[in-house]
Amino acid sequence: MSQPPKRPRTALDARSAAEAAFKAVTAPRVEGPPKKTAIPNVKEQVTLRIDQDVLEYFQEGGPGWQDRINDALRKAAGK
């Protein structure tokens, strides 16, 4: 079987390739949604994995253990 003849490269092919490469590099980047601004005194729900003994330490004081953990983290963060 004979193979179809290869198409010779022309100036248009090289130009198209160059334009495509330039467009890929200079295309505006799509950014994610803007960051939310922190609202004072509003808490955000998160999932946090901590050791069982640390959890028991804060829960020994009864209700309000989550606030005590928050206060300890705030102090550790220097705030």
Any domain includes 4: no
What is the pTM for the complete model shown?
A: 0.49
What is the count of structural domains for the chain?
A: 1
Q: Which position has the token pair 């290869």?
A: 6
Any domain includes 23: no
Any domain includes 19: no
Any domain includes 34: no
Any domain includes 26: no
12-35: per-residue pLDDT in tens?
A: 677 888 888 888 877 777 777 887
Q: Is 68:75 a contact under the CB 8 Å cutoff?
A: no
**Distant-in-sequence, close-in-space partners of 66: CB < 8 Å, separation ≥ 6:** 58
CA distance 27 to 50: 44
| C-alpha closest to that of 54 among 29, 73, 36, 30 | 73
46-78: per-residue pLDDT in tens?
A: 899 999 999 999 999 999 999 999 999 999 999
For residue 75, give its domain range: 43-79
Q: Is 58:68 a contact under the CB 8 Å cutoff?
A: yes
